């Protein structure tokens, strides 16, 4: 059945033919009959039609000419010829030209059926075209911000740079990062974070034009390539305009957020001759702003490139460091301050890099955290340390404790407790001789969850040390409820205990508090006899530092254990 309110455009119909159409097609709502090409063009371009009927019997209009007008309009309107002429060659020629159907006059039933079918087919084609357009749009645009994605951005930016080659002009790449997004997502949920990204992108879009392209890289990181700049002053001026966006807070519902931006800048062609290199150099530059004041910009330098190359080499080789046996452990003695005896050791990971030599943890552990290798490295350290401790126990040092650091990422893992249990079972070490060091900031990040995890470890008879105590923001209320055994005082406090009254008073207070809470105290960074005497006088339990020994390999540690079996380290 024909749709209601049919909009029909009839071309080259006589009055008699028109009367027939009205008598046979009763659902016509909008009808127009035209008899010349000019009116046909105006009708097609100026209105929407459900179907076009063309009377092929009128010799003054050729259907190919009329069909071309329809094609030029770009509209998908069923085009049906209604004619007395029905020889096979004429019909086939018309259909090959793009006519949707060819109906012999007098066959009203078939005409109505053809109109129904072709309107339906047009609807299917239009729906598919919209879907294809949507797929194409999504393939080249960021869903959250509707900005060009990196692929489209790179294509357009590359075309822009190719035009600059002839004019010997410059352009500037700006990588803009809003660094609080992970925190906001964790506190308020990703929906709030997404809306923040959208509002931020709208602000940035105000600077976008045909010579200044914008894209969203990931998270809340965006990139501009600006060909409107002409010198160093204009490059900096555009960066200042971006930074000014951080002045006004972003309001979402009843929440108000202040933006803190960092920008990495590199200039074409001096800092890169293609988009890929410019983006890479801007990324390296942006990473150097991590520890700077916020709302600042940093320019690319050759030193940054060298550092980025070294980081890339480290990243590639770190992924296979365990399999290649490049990681190793050094051990630093922990001394009982009252007896002077060696009571335990701390396991400290090192990387014997084939090109850069022996690397300390600060040179590669942050990288391992960034690229997702810290879990594997942490488990390897725990296994090796426990295995080595078991060997020492079997050699005659059965009371020696082994201390291992647990990173914040490891502590967040659901399988942490099971993983530690498996290592204890594999190595056969007594759980009571394992000490896990967890930083104060890690424990306080989610105190309730930390309490549950610590209790599970405590149930396994594992000792827990709060690492870096005195440098964070512990709540004494949680300190009382945490299932910890040891407060490990950070070396930044012990370093000045002899010359700084404030440091000495703080340490004295920590030791007194720990005694009241029935906690053991371990002081780190002890390098002088005066520091030792001060801590001994306060009845601090244990200490470690260069006064006793630097970290050493397992073989040297065994020699020290043997040497000090009946003696002391102080």
Q: What is the pLDDT of residues 458-485, one digit of tens each?
A: 999 999 998 888 665 555 666 777 888 9
Contact call for residues 10 and 53 (beta carbons, < 8 A)? yes
Provide the pLDDT for residue 62.
Answer: 79
Average pLDDT over residues 318-325: 90
Domains of the chain by range and CATH?
A: 6-139 (3.40.50.2300), 150-300 (3.30.70.270), 314-562 (3.20.20.450)
Rounded (10°) angle between helices 447-459 and 416-427: 20
6 by DSSP, 3-state: which?
A: strand
- Give 287-313 pLDDT, tens digit per residue: 766 545 567 788 887 777 677 777 778
The Cα 318–Cα 327 span in angstroms is: 9
pLDDT band at 565 (very low <50, low <70, confident <90, very high): low
Residue 54 sits at the vertex; the CA angle it makes with 100 and 44, to the nearest 5 degrees, is 85
Instruction: Tell me which of 550 and 296 has the higher pLDDT.
Output: 550
pLDDT of residue 140 exceeding 70, the answer is yes
Name the one residue in this structure whose structure tokens are 């009329």.
66
Provide the pLDDT for residue 268.
Answer: 92
Number of Cβ within 10 Å of residue 310's Cβ equals 13
373: tokens are 């290798």
Provide the pLDDT for residue 293.
Answer: 52
pLDDT of residue 517 exceeding 60, the answer is yes
Average pLDDT over residues 347-360: 92
Contact call for residues 246 and 202 (beta carbons, < 8 A)? no
What is the DSSP track for 496-540? TTTT-HHHHHHHHHHHHHHHHTT-EEEE----SHHHHHHHHHTT-
- Give 412-440 pLDDT, tens digit per residue: 777 889 999 999 999 999 999 999 999 87
pLDDT of residue 244 exceeding 60, the answer is yes
pLDDT band at 450 (very low <50, low <70, confident <90, very high): confident
The Cα 514–Cα 521 span in angstroms is: 7
Average pLDDT over residues 28-40: 73
The Cα 214–Cα 87 span in angstroms is: 59
Provide the pLDDT for residue 26.
Answer: 65
276: tokens are 């890929």
CA dihedral 513, 535, 335, 557 (to 10 degrees): 130
The Cα 534–Cα 508 span in angstroms is: 10
564: tokens are 């000090």
- Please, what's the b/e burial string for 180-213 (b: 16 or more CB within 10 A of its CB; e: otherwise)? bbeebbeebeeebbebbbebbbeebeebbeeebb
- Give 41-89 pLDDT, tens digit per residue: 888 888 888 899 888 765 567 788 888 888 888 889 999 998 887 788 8
Percent of the chain clearing pLDDT 90 (strictly above): 39
Provide the pLDDT for residue 30.
Answer: 58
β-strand partners of 348: 330
Average pLDDT over residues 362-369: 87
Least confident of 130-139, 347-356, 552-561: 130-139
Residue 358, classified by CB atoms within 10 Å of its CB into exposed (0-12), middle (13-18) or buried (19+), is exposed
The Cα 168–Cα 178 span in angstroms is: 33
pLDDT of residue 39 exceeding 90, the answer is no
56 by DSSP, 3-state: which?
A: coil
Number of Cβ within 10 Å of residue 317's Cβ equals 17
Provide the pLDDT for residue 570.
Answer: 47
Beta strands across the sheet bearing 28-34: 28-34, 6-11, 51-55, 79-83, 101-104
CA proximity to 259, closest of 294, 285, 226, 286: 294
> What's the whole-number average pLDDT of the chain?
86
β-strand partners of 54: 11, 81
pLDDT of residue 1 exceeding 60, the answer is no
Residue 169, classified by CB atoms within 10 Å of its CB into exposed (0-12), middle (13-18) or buried (19+), is middle
The Cα 252–Cα 195 span in angstroms is: 7
Query: Could you tell me the CA-to-CA distances from 136 to 130, 139, 184, 336 in Å, in that order?
Result: 10, 5, 32, 69
- Give 179-232 pLDDT, tens digit per residue: 778 778 877 888 898 999 999 999 999 999 999 999 999 888 999 999 999 998
Pairing mode of beta strands 101-104, 28-34? unpaired
pLDDT of residue 551 exceeding 50, the answer is yes
The Cα 342–Cα 488 span in angstroms is: 17
Provide the pLDDT for residue 431.
Answer: 93
Residue 305 CB partners (closer than 8 Å, separation 6+): 281, 284
360 by DSSP, 3-state: which?
A: coil
Name the one residue in this structure whose structure tokens are 């046996």.
325
* pTM of model > 0.75: no
Helix (H) and strand (E) counts for the chain? 22, 21
Provide the pLDDT for residue 11.
Answer: 84
DSSP state of 3: P
The Cα 154–Cα 213 span in angstroms is: 10
Average pLDDT over residues 548-560: 92
User: Which own/partner pairs from 389-396 qualify as long-range (CB within 8 Å, at least 24 positions apart)?
Assistant: 389/345, 389/427, 389/429, 389/433, 389/434, 390/427, 390/428, 390/429, 392/557, 392/558, 392/561, 393/429, 393/430, 393/433, 395/558, 395/561
């Amino acid at each position: 059945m024909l749709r209601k309110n049919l909009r029909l455009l009839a071309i080259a119909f006589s009055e008699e033919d028109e009367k027939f159409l009205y008598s046979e097609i009763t659902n016509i709502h909008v009808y127009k009959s035209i008899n010349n090409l000019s009116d046909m063009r105006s009708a097609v371009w100026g209105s929407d039609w459900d179907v076009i009927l063309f009377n092929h019997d009128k010799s003054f209009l050729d259907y190919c000419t009329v069909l071309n007008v329809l094609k030029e309009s770009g509209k998908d309107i069923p085009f049906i010829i209604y004619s007395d002429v029905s020889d096979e060659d004429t019909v086939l020629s018309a259909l090959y030209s793009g006519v949707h159907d060819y109906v012999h006059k007098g066959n009203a039933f078939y005409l109505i059926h053809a109109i129904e079918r072709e309107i339906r087919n047009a609807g299917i084609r239009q729906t598919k075209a919209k879907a294809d357009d949507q797929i194409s749009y999504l393939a080249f645009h960021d869903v959250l911000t509707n900005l060009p994605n990196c692929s489209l951005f790179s294509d357009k930016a590359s075309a822009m740079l190719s035009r600059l080659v002839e004019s010997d002009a410059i352009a500037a790449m700006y990588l803009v990062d809003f660094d609080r997004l992970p925190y906001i997502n964790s506190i308020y949920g990703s929906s709030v974070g997404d809306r923040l990204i959208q509002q931020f992108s709208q602000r940035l879009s105000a600077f976008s034009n045909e010579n200044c392209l914008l894209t969203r890289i990931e998270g809340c990181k965006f990139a501009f390539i600006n060909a409107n700049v002409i010198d160093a002053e204009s490059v900096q001026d555009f960066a200042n305009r971006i930074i000014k966006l951080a002045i006004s807070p972003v309001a979402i519902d009843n929440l108000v957020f202040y933006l803190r931006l960092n920008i990495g800048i590199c200039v074409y062609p001096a800092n890169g001759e293609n988009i890929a290199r410019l983006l890479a150099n801007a990324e390296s530059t942006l990473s150097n702003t991590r520890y700077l004041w916020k709302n600042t910009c940093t320019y690319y330098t050759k030193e940054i490139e060298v550092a980025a190359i070294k980081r890339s080499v480290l990243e590639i080789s770190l992924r296979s460091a365990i399999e290649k046996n490049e990681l190793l452990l050094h051990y630093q003695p922990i001394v009982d301050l009252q007896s002077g005896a060696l009571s335990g050791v701390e396991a400290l990971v090192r990387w014997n890099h084939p090109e850069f030599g022996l690397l300390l943890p600060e040179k590669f552990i942050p990288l391992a955290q960034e690229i997702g290798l810290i879990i594997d490295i942490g488990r390897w350290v725990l296994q090796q340390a426990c295995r080595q401790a078991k060997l020492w126990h079997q050699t005659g040092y059965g009371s020696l404790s082994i201390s291992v650091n647990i990173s914040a990422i490891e502590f967040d893992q659901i399988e942490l407790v099971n993983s530690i249990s498996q290592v204890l079972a594999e190595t056969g070490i007594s759980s009571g001789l394992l000490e896990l060091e967890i930083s104060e900031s890690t424990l306080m990040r989610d105190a309730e969850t930390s309490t549950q995890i610590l209790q599970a470890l405590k149930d396994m008879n594992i000792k827990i040390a709060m690492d870096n105590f005195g440098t964070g923001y512990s709540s004494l209320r949680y300190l009382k409820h945490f299932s910890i055994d040891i407060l490990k005082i950070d070396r930044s406090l012990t370093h000045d205990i002899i010359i700084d009254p404030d440091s000495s008073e703080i340490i004295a207070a920590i030791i007194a508090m720990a005694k009241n809470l029935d906690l053991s105290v371990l002081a780190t960074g002890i390098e002088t006899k005066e520091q030792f005497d001060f801590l001994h006088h306060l009845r601090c339990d244990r200490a470690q530092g260069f006064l006793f020994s630097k970290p050493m390999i397992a073989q040297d540690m065994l020699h020290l254990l043997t040497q000090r079996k009946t003696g002391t380290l102080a």
